Every structure is written in C-alpha cells, then in structure tokens.
Amino acid sequence: MIDVGRPLNLTIIGVPVEEGAGRAGAAMGPRALRTAGLRAELADLGHDVEDIGDLALPQELPAAPAGLANANRFAEVAGWSRALAHATGQVLGRGRLPVAIGGDHSLSMGSVAAVAQHCATAGRELFVLWLDAHADFNTPATSPSGNMHGMSAAMLTREPGLEAVLGELQTAGLPPANLFLFGIRSIDRAERALLDARGVDITDMRLIDEFGTAVMIRRVIDHVAGHKGWLHVSLDVDVLDPAIAPGVGTPVPGGTSYREAHLIMELLHESGLVGSLDVVELNPFLDDRGRSAILLVDLVASLFGRQVYERAI
C-alpha cells in the first residue's frame, strides 16, 4: 500500500490515440489536460511530477491476423498499445507511478498489460477499477460497431479474438473476477451475456442510486485491501454525467455527479491502494470551453490528495 501522507513520484504519459473510437478528437485530449493544469495541480500537492510528453505511433505497425474482422483500425490500436506498454513498463521499473492521459479507452490495453506484468513479477495481485458508462467488454465477435475502445476490458481478461494486440509483448492477463466495472449504464446485449458468463463485478448506476456512492466504492476498496492488492484506476470521462462533462464522444445520460465523482477519488486516495492511472476519452472538440478537461484535472488532484479541508487519515 502507498503511504498517503508522503509525496509520490508521478509520471505523465501522453497517448494521443483516437483510432479506437468512432469519432475523431480524442487525440487532442492530452494537450487539453495539460492546458487545464494537470502537472501544476499535482506538483502543488507536493508530488514529484515528470511529463515525458506524448508517445508517437510506431512507423512499423503490426498486421492484423488473417481472418480477423470487425476490429476497426487494428494495426494502429495495436501499435499504440505496444508503445504504451513499453513506456509504462519503463516508468514502473523506475519506481514511479504512471499516469496515462489520452486518448480513447483502447490505450488501457497497453497500460494495464504493463501493470499486470509488473505485478506478476513483484508477486502482487492486480485489480482494475473501470470507471465508465460502458462495459468495454465486447470482442470482434460481439461488437456492434467494431470500435476497439469498446473491447479494451475484454482484451485485458484474455477474451478470444484480441490475442494479437500485444503480439510478443503479451503479458500476464487479468482474471475477470479482478475487474470492477463502476458507473455502468450502457451494455450491449451480447456483451451482457459475456459479462455474466465471466462473473465480472458490475456496479451500475442503479446500485449507486440505491445504496450510495460511498457504500459501493468502499466495497471495491475493502475487497482489494483484503487481498493486499494493487489497484489500477481507469477513468473514462463518460462515467460523469454529460451535463457536467460534455467533452466525450459517447455520452450517456444519468452519470455520476460532481460530488459523487470527487467522493470516489477521495476515498480511493485514502485507501492507499492506487498504483497506476488512466484518464481517457476526453474529446476537446466536443467540450464546452474546457469544462470537461478542468473537471478531470480536479478529479485527478482529488485522487492524489487534494481535500476541501485536510483531515488526518
């Protein structure tokens, strides 16, 4: 566990990938988060923050496997994933906490894969908290759109059809039982059947409405803490209600409120369990004067210790 009272060594990795999404614009997400003051906000909390800039798409891209259909822009998504897996592994190897900023949610194929390999080597059990309106558990066989940002969670749990994304970089998989989908309110029919078959833990907005944000997120925290696990947080801007965060290509009404989202971040910080982070799906082209970018920066600051009133933990 992380000592929440001491400064952290944070490394920001920009990932301007948009090939996994159905709309252009997410490639501008890293720049918008920087413009909104991400590094300064984290440094102001006392953390050591480095920004290694944006990754570049490799010039030589992997070919899609023969017979693979319904996986749009496979070569580009696989290229970005491999580049991010390599960069994330290097950051973890230097004892720093990686913060991948994107970019669409396909980037998690690379970041979480690297974290999974790091945890396997270190003998730590990995858990992933997927804060999202969508389950992202489609495969090429089930996806209605073929957009790979909707397949990232399935790829990480080794669902068939996506083995070639990382190629020889293939790393330790994530057990489906260690994936927590949180804030969900849009699931495709075939995706639902697959989630049920795999036993993935799902906290949809109905459960949050009924039992409250604190109860439901503490349930996740307590489970991970009970296993002395490493928690990777994958924060998709569309977990938020589009009324407060319009800068997203796949908005779904009825998301978390401003205070619900901050409470999640605050409780995660206090847990001391978070060892890595993704911030994904910000599309500045669809935003309103930077509202979504500013809110995301505020949420990341809450995750790393900013409080309205500082209390002893």
Sign of the alpha-carbon torsion through 100, 252, 301, 291: positive
User: Which among 41, 132, 159, 260 is annotated as catalytic?
Assistant: 132
Per the annotation, the verdict on 196 as an active-site residue is no
- Catalytic residue, chosen from 238, 266, 287, 298, is 238
Main-chain dihedrals φ then ψ at residue 47, nearest 5 degrees: -80, 155
Residue 12 CA, chain-centre distance (Å), reads 14
> Of residues 188, 201, 278, 281, which has the active-site annotation?
281
Which residue out of 19, 41, 76, 134 is catalytically annotated? 134
Report whether 139 contacts 160 (CB < 8 A): yes
| 236 given a catalytic annotation | yes
Indicate if 201 belongs to the active site. no
State yes or no: is 136 an active-site residue. Answer: yes
Is 281 in the active site?
Answer: yes
Catalytic residue (one of 19, 76, 136, 287): 136
Query: What SS3 state is found at 52?
Result: strand
Catalytic residue among 47, 118, 149, 232: 149
Distance of CA 104 to the CA centre of its chain: 9
The count of other CB atoms within 10 Å of the CB of residue 169 is 16
Distance CA(185)–CA(301), nearest Å, equals: 26
Based on the number of CB atoms within 10 Å of its own CB, is 64 exposed (0-12), middle (13-18) or buried (19 or more)?
middle
* Catalytic, out of 201, 236, 266, 278: 236
> What does the block give as tokens for 305?
């210790």
Please report the beta strands in 16-131, taking only residues with DSSP state E, as ranges in sequence order: 48-54, 97-102, 126-131
- Residues ≥6 apart with Cβ < 8 Å to 309: none
Active site residue 105: yes
Asked if 51 is an active-site residue, the reply is: no
Point out the catalytic residue in the list 47, 105, 118, 232: 105
Whether 263 and 222 have beta carbons less than 8 Å apart is answered as no
Residues 267, 254: Cα–Cα separation, whole Å: 22
Catalytic site includes residue 19: no
Q: Which of 182, 78, 202 is nearest to 140 (CA)?
A: 78
| Catalytic residue positions, numbered | 105, 132, 134, 136, 149, 236, 238, 281
